[in-house]
Amino acid sequence: MNSIVSASGAATKTEAASAEVVRLVDVQRHFGATAALDGISLAVHKGEILGIIGRSGAGKSTLIRCLNGLERPDSGEIEIEGRSIVGLDEKDLQPLRRRVGMIFQHFNLLSSKTVEENVALPLKIAGVARAERLKRAHELLDLVGLAGKAKDYPSSLSGGQKQRVGIARALAARPALLLSDEATSALDPETTRSILTLLKDINRKLGLTIILITHEMEVVRSIADRVAVIDAGRIVEEGQVWSVFADPKAPITQSLLSGSRPQLPEHIAARLSPTSGDEAILSIDMAGPAAQGAVFADLSSALPGSFRLVHGGIDHIQNQPVARFFIAVPTRDPALKDKVLQFLKARSARVEVLGYDTDHV
Ligand SMILES: Nc1ncnc2c1ncn2[C@@H]1O[C@H](COP(=O)(O)OP(=O)(O)OP(=O)(O)O)[C@@H](O)[C@H]1O
């Protein structure tokens, strides 16, 4: 069984437990010989945004379908706001489903209904009177920036506007949890940013707990507090987003993150020798407080002429600096590389010798 993934911070155990919106314990779901979920344990706390990433087929959709009661696990426990949903019949699932809003990649709006009718639909199903549900729909359209579109039909909206309607509809019944299933995957980068900003605003304003399922690291990077990486039905890595980006441990995480972190340029990587050359090429990873000092200026003062910068940069994730650089250290002084390694390690940097280069100009 995986350990329970949680971010209780400074809260006491009791406070953290009371603020749990979602709790999964050793959830298993098999399809024939395929383990779509193979022992998922997870806790998500009120107001948290959790990103769940993984490759195609990793089990993300099965997980989300288990959370909204569309799929039943073979074994394990799933609680929403402290109530078990495993084993409930359709009738008893209905009120719990209203506690879980959902947004989709292709919006899933009803084309024959106006924007306000789409937003009000969950309330109509719940038996809320027309005047009240339209009032709520208008409040929500205001919240998502579509106040003037109430009477329009979905066909006249852009993709970003359709997703805003989807978000308003998902919030209609005042859910405790919003599930987002690849909600920005069909949108262009600018629209994606505006939808992510809206989700973050709603999270802050309403204290809404959000679980985002995505294969896009950028989505996780820009709005999630925590990330869980799922592979072959198991959580293989989890943590605060900045810390997982700074030091991805599982090979699948490293692979998913490769496009989001500086990599040694291919033409240099291709010509590295594992044993000898004029320069040693080092990768340097620093994050949090370790990335805040003037490391390279200090290295230059302590060991003049000891390196040249090859590639890299500093990113800021959740207000934390996350730095990754590649430097070249001349090998004519055989002791220099070790002095540089020692200096950087003393500054809490992770340093790796990637190989040796002879052909730089
Ligand atoms: N109804 C089903 N019948 C048979 N196999 C299924 C079913 N649903 C999912 N699977 C299998 O379970 C595994 C996990 O699928 P799932 O759809 O949860 O992955 P995913 O991470 O959401 O993938 P994608 O990103 O491509 O949607 C896959 O091997 C898939 O083929």
Instruction: Look at ligand 1, atom 2, and give the residue with the nearest C-alpha.
Output: 31
Q: Which tokens hold the place of 95? A: 């009120």
CA distance linking residue 173 with residue 132, whole number of Å? 12
What distance in angstroms lies between residue 122's CA and the mean position of ligand 1's atoms? Answer: 27
Residue 96, pLDDT score: 85
Pair 173, 126: CB distance under 8 Å: yes
Pair 52, 97: CB distance under 8 Å: no
Tell me the pLDDT of the chain (361 aa) as tens digits: 344 444 433 444 444 445 899 999 999 999 999 999 999 999 999 999 999 999 999 999 999 999 999 999 999 999 999 999 998 888 888 888 889 999 999 999 999 999 999 999 999 998 999 999 999 999 999 999 999 999 999 999 999 999 999 999 999 999 999 999 999 999 999 999 999 999 999 999 999 999 999 988 889 999 999 999 999 999 999 999 999 999 999 999 999 998 889 999 999 999 999 999 999 999 999 998 888 778 999 999 999 999 999 999 999 999 999 999 999 999 999 899 999 999 999 999 999 999 999 877 6
What does the pLDDT look like over 287-296, one tens digit per residue?
988 887 789 9
Residue 90, pLDDT score: 87
What distance in angstroms lies between residue 94's CA and the mean position of ligand 1's atoms? Answer: 25
CA distance linking residue 121 with residue 320, whole number of Å? 41
What distance in angstroms lies between residue 16's CA and the mean position of ligand 1's atoms? Answer: 32
CA distance linking residue 118 with residue 355, whole number of Å? 59
Angle between helical axes of 159-171 and 115-125 (0-180°, round to 10): 20
Residue 361, pLDDT score: 63
Residue partners of 201: CB distance under 8 A and separation at least 6: none
Strand pairing class (49-53; 226-231): parallel
Q: Which tokens hold the place of 130? A: 């027309």
Which protein residues are within 6 Å of ligand 1, measured from CB? Answer: 31, 34, 36, 54, 56-62, 215
Identify the CA nearest to 225 among candidates 245, 251, 206, 255: 245
What distance in angstroms lies between residue 71's CA and the mean position of ligand 1's atoms? Answer: 12
Atom of ligand 1 at shortest range from CA of 182: 25
pTM: 0.88
What distance in angstroms lies between residue 106's CA and the mean position of ligand 1's atoms? Answer: 18
Q: Which helix (H) or strand (E) holds 84?
A: strand 83-84
CA distance linking residue 65 with residue 24, whole number of Å? 13
Pair 283, 351: CB distance under 8 Å: yes
Instruction: Look at ligand 1, atom 25, and give the residue with the nearest C-alpha.
Output: 56
DSSP 273: B
Pair 257, 220: CB distance under 8 Å: no
Give the SS3 label for residue 222.
helix
- Which of 62, 67, 212, 216 has most ligand 1 atoms within 8 Å of CB, for mutation? 62
CA distance linking residue 90 with residue 116, whole number of Å? 27
Strand pairing class (75-80; 83-84): antiparallel
Q: Environment class of residue 3 by beta-carbon count within 10 Å: exposed (0-12), middle (13-18) or buried (19+)?
A: exposed
- Runs of H (alpha helix) within the chain: 13-18, 60-67, 90-97, 115-125, 130-143, 159-171, 189-206, 217-223, 241-246, 251-257, 266-269, 295-302, 336-346
